[in-house]
Amino acid sequence: DAGVTQSPTHLIKTRGQHVTLRCSPISGHKSVSWYQQVLGQGPQFIFQYYEKEERGRGNFPDRFSARQFPNYSSELNVNALLLGDSALYLCASSYGTVNTEAFFGQGTRLTVV
Amino acid sequence: DQQVKQNSPSLSVQEGRISILNCDYTNSMFDYFLWYKKYPAEGPTFLISISSIKDKNEDGRFTVFLNKSAKHLSLHIVPSQPGDSAVYFCAALEYGNKLVFGAGTILRVKS
């Protein structure tokens, strides 16, 4: 069985650009959460989506948005990129809304120059 | 304001000995805790968890202890193996859906 898959694995963007990151959850999982991990820190919660609805939002600016599709895959969009947005973006999937055992993808390493 | 703290950035242990990783939290509303292990270029992997109604949970070489009055939990790995070398994250579940992570502890197991 495939685990959580994220694409792309790496990308480099310029300040002010827009980026879209993609995540496919484990088959049968209906919840996708996004996290940002800056070097030297633990992952920080950005969003949770369940059944295509936003169920939680972390302390991130409105430049960050996400959506979930009918097949439960998800996109994270970041507009007007800043240097500080450089980080590893992690997607986690779980069956329900309660994340007592969330499974993470390998992440997308975003570098903003 | 960090609600979950891992005060030891790194820990070095001899193979076969016990590794003890510590974690403190400040929010008394947290009622479920998890430990994740992360290798470079991979996402975090779930290791073990504990509910606040328990004070201990074991899974093979891994045991997690929870001291609610002290708002402290620890992960014990016995015996430690070189393959255990990784970054270990402590996390607390908030509102049932949001994981609040500590900054991580780098464990090095020397052979």
Give the Cα separation of A86 and A113 in Å (integer). Answer: 9
Q: Which residues on A lie below 8 Å from B101 (Cβ)?
A: 35, 42-44
Is it the case that residue A57 has pLDDT exceeding 90? yes
Greater confidence (B97 vs A46) lies with A46
High-pLDDT (> 90) share of chain A, %: 89
Chain B interface residues facing chain A, Cβ-Cβ under 8 Å? 4, 6, 32, 34, 36, 41-46, 49, 89, 91, 93, 95-104
Candidate from B32, B89, B103 with C-beta closest to A100: B32
pLDDT, position B14:
98
High-pLDDT (> 70) share of chain A, %: 99
Question: What residues contact residue B85 under an 8 Å CB cut-off, 6+ apart?
Answer: B107, B108, B109
Give the Cα separation of B29 and A59 in Å (integer). Answer: 19
By three-state DSSP, how is residue A85 classified? Answer: helix
Tell me the helices (H) and strands (E) count for chain A, helix number first: 0, 11
Residue with tokens 């607390």: B92
Q: Which residue of B has its CA nearest to A3?
A: B43
Give the Cβ contact number of residue B25 at 10 Å.
22
Q: Which residues on A lie below 8 Å from B91 (Cβ)?
A: 42
Interval A59-101: pLDDT, tens: 999 999 999 999 999 999 999 999 999 999 999 999 887 777 8
Task: Answer for the pair A96, A50: CB distance below 8 angstroms, yes or no.
Answer: yes
Is it the case that residue A1 has pLDDT exceeding 70? no
Is it the case that residue B1 has pLDDT exceeding 80? no
pLDDT, position A37:
96
Question: What residues contact residue A29 under an 8 Å CB cut-off, 6+ apart?
Answer: A72, A93, A94, A95, A103
